[in-house]
Amino acid sequence: MTEAAGPPRQGPRPLPVHLAAALTTWTTSAAVWPLWKSGSLPSSPQVAETAARLRTDLADADPVAFNAALQRSLIARQHALLDGIEAYRSHPYRRDIAEPPAIWREGTTRLLDYGAVPGGPGSDAPAILAIPSLINRAYILDLKADTSLLRHLAASGLRPLLVDWDAPGEVERGFDLTAYIAGRLEAALDAAREAAGGRPLVVLGYCMGGLLALALAQRRPRDVAGLALLATPWDFHATNPGQARLAAQAATAMEPLMQTMGELPTDAVQTFFAGLDPMTAARKFTAFARMPGGKRAERFVAVEDWLNDGVPLAAPAARACLHGWYGANTPARGQWRVAGRPVDPAAVRCPAFALVPRADRIVPPESALALTQQLADVRVETPELGHIGMVTSSRAADAAWKPLRDWLHATLGTAAPIVQRT
């Protein structure tokens, strides 16, 4: 960790949305609890049993005393949230890990060579093309010196080549998903294969990057030796189709902004994901207010810095994702097309590996498992981790990275040496 002061943190972004969600939830709770206690407000079926027990527990509570206690609790929660946000904003951690060299560039896209990091295997090692999401910075896979999936793989004798999309430039603002996959990503694959001496390589995709990797593997079967999918969605209506369709409505509301700017702004993207669970930020920062210092707190700050360092999404790609993937569920319905050709997991014949975190709230396991069921040759691991925790938590190395690393070595026909934990 570096103690040098950096620019002031502005997160969690978008701050007004997170504060409004918490305040609305807490103040509404205080206002409606008498109606709920009397049974005037029915509980949802998912919590009916718990609600019935709670009503029984509160049956003899003094209303005046309980209301006073409730108000004190809500005020304490508000203070804890603000304390957690202030503790985050003033934390001394700043990311200072050295970036590996870029071996290829086109537009705003680069290919970073993790074979060249200290302790890396050099340029002769089997290569992996790592593809992150378009809406977040690529360095989630290389967060810190002691929290880096890519450096972990490099230390085991593999050569990860990371696609760094960066924010869309003037050219990329006109990109749809076909332009990203059949154009820019295939060019990156060509550069990666050339760097690897012409050998086929494994393509690894994280979250949205997994969908891009899947389409790439189908389009370039001779160049792809294996496909690794980390928390990759497929059936966007698997658990809550109504919520998914709200994304299409949000895209419609944002259309004037996208037409003006040529992109979906970062805060708009963040607002959409905040809507999946509006109280996430309140829970996280309230807990952070009580968290002692040390590596756990530093890791929390590192992840939050990454989350707040998002990038806009090119408007044509945003429309395809929000109207197509979320609104119409085009992947699961066989209607998502790249360069006119349907993306079909059954057409991917290379060995595949899928990490499906069981505690994932961004990509529900049911959504990701719908994809694995269509792959011809796939190994599935379901660690008890979250969407981001699978690449950043203290348990990730054993529960997620190790099985992935072992599969990569087996697929590429190399020996996996023992990797020391950092």
What is the reported pLDDT for 420? Answer: 47
Q: SS3 letters for the chain? A: CCCCCCCCCCCCCCHHHHHHHHHHHHHHHHHHHHHHHHCCCCCCHHHHHHHHHHHHHHCCCCHHHHHHHHHHHHHHHHHHHHHHHHHHHCCCCCCCCCCCCEEEEECCEEEEEHHHCCCCCCCCCCEEEEECCCCCCHHHHHCECCECHHHHHHHCCCEEEEEECCCCCCCHHHCCHHHHHHHHHHHHHHHHHHHCCCCCEEEEEECHHHHHHHHHHHHCHHHEEEEEEECCCCCCCCCCHHHHHHHHHHHHHCHHHHHHHCEECHHHHHHHHHHHCCCHHHHHHHHHHHCCCCHHHHHHHHHHHHHCCCCCEEHHHHHHHHHHHHHHCCCCCCCCEECCEECCHHHCCCCEEEECCCCCCCCCHHHHHHHHCCCCCEEEECCCCCCCHHHHCCCHHHHHHHHHHHHHHHHHCCCCCCCCCC
What is the reported pLDDT for 36? Answer: 65
What is the reported pLDDT for 27? Answer: 86
Question: In whole angstroms, what is the distance from residue 329 CA to residue 391 CA?
Answer: 27
Could you tell me the mean pLDDT of each successive run of 10 residues in the chain, 422 residues long?
A: 60 93 87 70 70 76 84 93 96 95 98 96 96 97 97 97 98 98 98 96 98 98 98 96 89 93 94 86 95 93 96 97 96 98 97 98 96 97 97 97 97 67 42
What is the reported pLDDT for 224? Answer: 98
In order of their start, the domains of the chain are 14-90+266-311 (no CATH), 106-239+314-412 (3.40.50.1820)
Q: Which of 147, 166, 144 is nearest to 95 (CA)?
A: 144
Is it true that the peptide bond before 403 is cis, omega within 30 degrees of 0? Answer: no
Burial class (CB in 10 A: 0-12, 13-18, 19+), 289: middle
